[in-house]
Amino acid sequence: MAKRKLRLGLFGAGTVGRSVIEILRKRETEFKRDGYEFVLKRVCERDAGRRRRLLLKKDLFTASVSKILNDPEIDVVIELIGGEHPARDIIEGALSNGKSVITANKKMVAEEGMALARKAKRNDCYFGFRAAITGCHVVMDQLVHGGPIDSVVGVFNGTCNYILTRMKELAREQDEVVKEAQKLGYAERNPSDDIDGFDTEYKVRILSMLVFGFRVPRERMLVEGIRNIALEDIGFADQLGYEIRLLGILNRKKRVMDVRVHPALVPQGTKFAMLRGVQNCIEIDDVLRGRGGAVYEGAGGTPAASAVIQDLIDTADNAPVNWPSRQRFEEKLSLIPKRMIKSRYYLVFKAVNRPGVLAGISSALAEYDINIEKVEQKERERRGLVPIVIVTDEAIEQNIRKALKRISQVGVIKGKLKLIRICDTLIT
């Protein structure tokens, strides 16, 4: 078997970059046996501490972007530094110089993936982005070539899943568990991208373009994270027969797309509810193949590094992912307005413990055509307030919002009202 030799220039030797280097080192013999030779020619990393931990020869390192981009011997540039600058210049510069690019930059791919894929094709380069959608890349073939696909639903952020499951296991509030996740390397020093839903948002927007050829107008997309999920919500959900997970949802009904990111109550016993730690899951509803998907690790260096390695193999095999063009799709799709989303809802009110409170809440909900499926007034009282938990039938988002505004004006309701959607129709 003829060997395909690729010389690599790596930007970023953090958690993922270090894991890529370790895999290249440990699997070198295996790769050569299978006909591949991946040679790490240069690493751009300015952090001296990271350099020392890698145990590589000093002459492999550089602090100069141009030494990699302008090196005619380097075939593939691997960008793992994240952010917008200088990542954008690195990716575009590499493609302009005829070098293939592999990136884990979710935000960049979400916003400019189609344009970068077109540029790569014009310059006869490979554009790899499997690490931008982490473990769900294992079903890439079905995502790109399956279909027609009606829905894709997933838990796409391992950090959030770790936080939610550990909160329940340890009976601790979120801020304590976030610190634990940071110590283990699952959460960044600033965990906002994870817990505010942005990481999942980027992945969902990438999947929307891959699967449906639909570029989601970001400003019109519903994106909520887990920041406001409290331990009592996890306890109440458990009593109702649910777990709380951060979901990314893509659902197509005829020409209308429902694309959103938010925490949701999912039924216990489903694969989503049974995810633990940093596990993630994707479920695909494919008209021809039926429902299928995968469970995978979604945080830490190894899952993303494995995706980078698969991109390297595909580069060597000249087997790029074909980013679909809009022309491939016959239908012009539109995004359902956030106010028109339909769901069942879990609502929590902190109310003064006096007669007539439940009647007032029920009346306000009924005024906006919202039926109550279940209501519970919890016994414990804190600072003179008792939690009231309500589960509604399916309702329109704008009606729920109007009803909550009306209820908040009632003098017996104190503090912020809690709303979490219930998702039990799109998942199994």
271-311 residue pLDDT tens: 999 999 999 999 999 888 888 888 888 777 888 999 999 99
306 falls within a domain: no
390 falls within a domain: yes
pLDDT band at 322 (very low <50, low <70, confident <90, very high): low
Does 91 score more than 60 pLDDT? yes
Cα separation, 171 vs 231, in Å, equals 7
Q: What pLDDT does residue 381 have?
A: 65
* Contact of 348 with 374, CB cutoff 8 Å: no
Cα separation, 330 vs 100, in Å, equals 31
288 contacts: CB under 8 Å, gap ≥ 6: 146, 147, 148
304 falls within a domain: no
Does 415 score more than 80 pLDDT? no
- Tell me: do 327 and 357 sit in the same domain: no
- Tell me: do 174 and 249 sit in the same domain: yes
158-200 residue pLDDT tens: 999 999 999 999 999 999 999 999 999 888 899 999 999 999 9
Prediction pTM value: 0.92
Considering 84-88, 131-135, 259-263, 362-366, the range whose residues carry the highest mean pLDDT is: 259-263
Cα separation, 70 vs 151, in Å, equals 43
- Tell me: do 103 and 184 sit in the same domain: no
Residue 392: give the domain boundaries: 342-422
Q: Output the average pLDDT for the chain.
A: 90
* Contact of 390 with 408, CB cutoff 8 Å: no
319 token code pair: 């087997």
Q: What pLDDT does residue 57 have?
A: 82
- Tell me: do 189 and 324 sit in the same domain: yes
Helices and strands counted in the chain (H then E): 15, 18
Backbone dihedral angles phi then psi of residue 336, each to the nearest 5 degrees: -65, 135
118 falls within a domain: yes
The closest of 29, 5, 21 to 61, measured between CA atoms, is 21
CATH classification of the domain holding 237: 3.30.360.10
Cα separation, 362 vs 390, in Å, equals 10
Q: What is the DSSP string of 64-103?
A: -SHHHHT-TT--EEEE-S-SSTTHHHHHHHHHHTT-EEEE
428 falls within a domain: no
Cα separation, 259 vs 284, in Å, equals 14
How many structural domains is the chain composed of?
3
Q: What pLDDT does residue 323 have?
A: 67
Q: What pLDDT does residue 114 have?
A: 87
312 falls within a domain: no
Say what the alpha-carbon torsion angle 345, 350, 352, 353 is, to the nearest 10 degrees.
70
pLDDT band at 2 (very low <50, low <70, confident <90, very high): very low
Rg (CA), the chain: 24
Residues paired with 10 in a beta bridge: 43, 78
Q: What pLDDT does residue 152 have?
A: 95
CA torsion through residues 285, 391, 364, 388, sign: negative
**Among 86-90, 286-290, 345-349, 366-370, the least confident range:** 286-290
77 token code pair: 């540039």
70-79 residue pLDDT tens: 999 999 999 9
- Residue ending a domain, choose from 96, 128, 160: 128
Task: Name residue 246's amino acid.
Answer: L
310 falls within a domain: no
- Tell me: do 145 and 263 sit in the same domain: yes
Higher-scoring residue by pLDDT: 141, 220: 220
CATH classification of the domain holding 379: 3.30.70.260
Please, how many CA atoms are within 13 Å of residue 45, restricted to the half-sphere of its CB? 27
- Tell me: do 256 and 352 sit in the same domain: no
- Residue ending a domain, choose from 82, 99, 128: 128
Report percent pLDDT > 70 for the chain.
Answer: 95
132-151 residue pLDDT tens: 998 777 788 778 777 789 99
Does 331 score more than 80 pLDDT? no
pLDDT band at 1 (very low <50, low <70, confident <90, very high): very low
How large is the average pLDDT for residues 221-231?
97
385 token code pair: 């307030």
- Tell me: do 115 and 209 sit in the same domain: no
Does 337 score more than 80 pLDDT? yes
CATH classification of the domain holding 96: 3.40.50.720
- Tell me: do 216 and 248 sit in the same domain: yes
Which element (helix H / strand E) includes 386?
strand 385-392
- Tell me: do 159 and 76 sit in the same domain: no
**What's the distance, CA 26 to chain centroid?**
29
Q: What pLDDT does residue 369 have?
A: 95
- Tell me: do 186 and 267 sit in the same domain: yes
33 contacts: CB under 8 Å, gap ≥ 6: none
Cα separation, 111 vs 81, in Å, equals 17
- Tell me: do 142 and 241 sit in the same domain: yes
How large is the average pLDDT for residues 242-262?
96
* Contact of 280 with 296, CB cutoff 8 Å: yes
- Tell me: do 351 and 402 sit in the same domain: yes
* Contact of 286 with 292, CB cutoff 8 Å: yes
384 falls within a domain: yes
